[in-house]
Structure 1
């Protein structure tokens, strides 16, 4: 059963990592695949990198589109895909050499719709990996856990999975979502109760970027979470939606309470009290700007 696997890679200004990502596809021990690269209006050297790899292997195919975001790029990849199975891969992440082979064996042996594998984190060197933020488990692979526990107890990087392509015949990623689109996909797919399995083999690598999240990015995530709620309510039963909103409200209220407690603990700490005394002293000698930096430093600890 040598079925074709379509590997869909959206590409937007990740030329720095794209060579390594494509190489992880070419190195696959399972060889019956097509790699669909969607250049989503990149302004860096992505186009020349794609052209180079297309000349090396005819299984690599590319399509250019005006920039529309990750969801629109994946949708175009799904339209172009010819495979019986689908593997998503972001343009800065990597696949283990046996990812396709092992996942496909589980799919076919057990007549499954989705196989999810374990993953690891890395920054620049895939030889130096670290444990993921979440410990994945078989019990997470159901509709209720995905809807209610996502980003609280777990999240699943999309390249951990190998999917039957038929799951996406009536599905599109919402192009208005610029984040949380994976959560939407997993919720919609598992609402229909697909046959799935988790295997505890580290077969994917998720790149961690060193840049910290800015305030703008935090607001971006919050705004798209709200948009996710608006979109998912048209898909799931009303009672499930109400429960989701109730749980989300409790989560954010509890988080706010914890943050308030942390701030109170900081104010009661010796470091903060010493900082206040330093501030008073520096005001007297006209160096109050420096005192603000010191107070900020204490507060961040």
Structure 2
């Protein structure tokens, strides 16, 4: 691609059976201001009208490109998008979410002004079941600040903040090479939970714009709200083990991650039926891990008495 036509940013959108939300998402992207950008829609084997909607956008706006691949999950779709990107910088976005008009501009401006390796913006939530918008921030919390990579990583368990903005793949802008060097794991759920800490740890400077610049939609059929099954539980355990090992190897405190997992693990066990707890190897492994954590906490308490 000629340098005068090359986009500065590639917006990569994995698409899987998101027809009900896709037009809203792509319309919000088309309205972005700031650096020159392209949009790579990776149709991940959708069986609804998602592909047709993507084809409509490809035909009407030269900035939009469609790649259609067999279903392989969001991690693989993001990696394929990166491999086909022309932009020097990349931001990921989910097909059921929506950008505020200044999303890209704010990310770009702060990345450049703070000479950061990655820029992050916060979000607000729309809960479909409750028909309710949810906001995390007060006016006093709206601020811009920088962190080094390890400190930004530990924010994943700082619950005084919306800690999930340091976990999800969306709401970030970084050089494409970061995602080429540290790709998303493929074939697993919670793929961002298993890798964003590595991406953050690789950064010298992270700039955080603690303002809501995109809408995150919570819907019944999403990965995060789906009923527990063996695959989901297996991948959650895998993501946790990857993260714990990486933190330990980097010399970071594993305690907050372990404590978070204990809370989530107990919630998952409570959802399982007795037959599932008795027959699923993943459930039995989770129970052993939680028992080990409880013994560890008890031993600490005894030593501190």
Structure 1-normalised TM-score?
0.71
1:155 equivalent among 147, 164, 172: 164
User: Runs of at least 4 residues of structure 1 off by over 3 A?
Assistant: 132-142, 147-153, 210-215, 219-222, 229-241, 246-260
**1:48 matched to which residue of 2?**
52
1:1-301 aligned within 5 A: 4-30=8-34, 32-123=36-127, 129-132=133-136, 138=145, 142-143=149-150, 146-147=153-154, 149-150=156-157, 154-156=163-165, 157-179=168-190, 181-210=191-220, 213=225, 215-216=227-228, 220-232=231-243, 235-238=246-249, 240=251, 244=254, 247-251=256-260
| Offset, 1:248 | 5.0
Alignment gaps of 5+ in structure 1 = 261-301
Query: Within 2, Cα distance between the matches of 1:198 and 1:210?
Result: 29
**Contact 2:127–2:217 (8 Å) recurs in 1:** yes
Deviations 1:274-297 (A, max 9, x none): xxxxxxxxxxxxxxxxxxxxxxxx
- 1:54 CA displacement: 0.7
Change (3 A) 1:256 1:71: closer
Distance 1:214 1:34 in 2: 32
Bigger mean CA deviation after superposition, 30-39 or 143-152: 143-152
Closer, same or farther in 2 for the Cα pair 1:240/1:220, shift >3 Å?
A: farther
User: Unaligned regions of 5+ residues in structure 2, if any?
Assistant: 1-5, 270-305
What SS class does the counterpart of residue 97 from structure 1 fall into? coil
Partner-residue secondary structure (3-state), 2:71: coil
**Following TM superposition, by how much is the alpha carbon of 1:160 offset from its aligned partner in structure 2, in angstroms?**
1.6
Q: Is the 8 A contact 1:86 1:163 kept in 2?
A: yes
Query: Would you say the 8 A contact 2:152–2:206 is kept in 1?
Result: no
Offset at 1:235?
Answer: 4.6
Matched residue count: 254
1:183-204 Cα shifts (integer Å, max 9, x gaps): 2332111222331111122211
> Which one has a bigger Cα radius of gyration?
1
Please give the alpha-carbon distance, in whole angstroms, between the structure 2 residues aligned to 1:172 and 1:185.
8
Which is further off, 57-66 or 170-179?
A: 170-179
Q: 1:259 to 1:38 in 2, by over 3 A?
A: closer
User: Is the 1:41–1:65 contact (alpha carbons within 8 Å) kept by the matching residues of 2?
Assistant: yes
Q: Is the 8 A contact 1:150 1:183 kept in 2?
A: no
TM-score normalised by L of structure 2: 0.71
Superposition RMSD in Å: 3.6
Measured in 1, the distance between the counterparts of 2:14 and 2:53 equals 14
> CA 1:247/1:81 → structure 2, altered by over 3 Å: closer, same or farther?
same
Query: In the alignment, is the contact (CA less than 8 A) between 1:13 and 1:46 conserved in 2?
Result: yes
Please say if residues 41 and 67 of structure 1, whose CA atoms lie closer than 8 Å, have aligned partners that are also in contact.
Answer: yes
Structure 2 CA distance for aligned equivalents of residues 53 and 158 of structure 1: 23
Taking the aligned partners of 1:183 and 1:256, their CA distance within structure 2 comes to 15
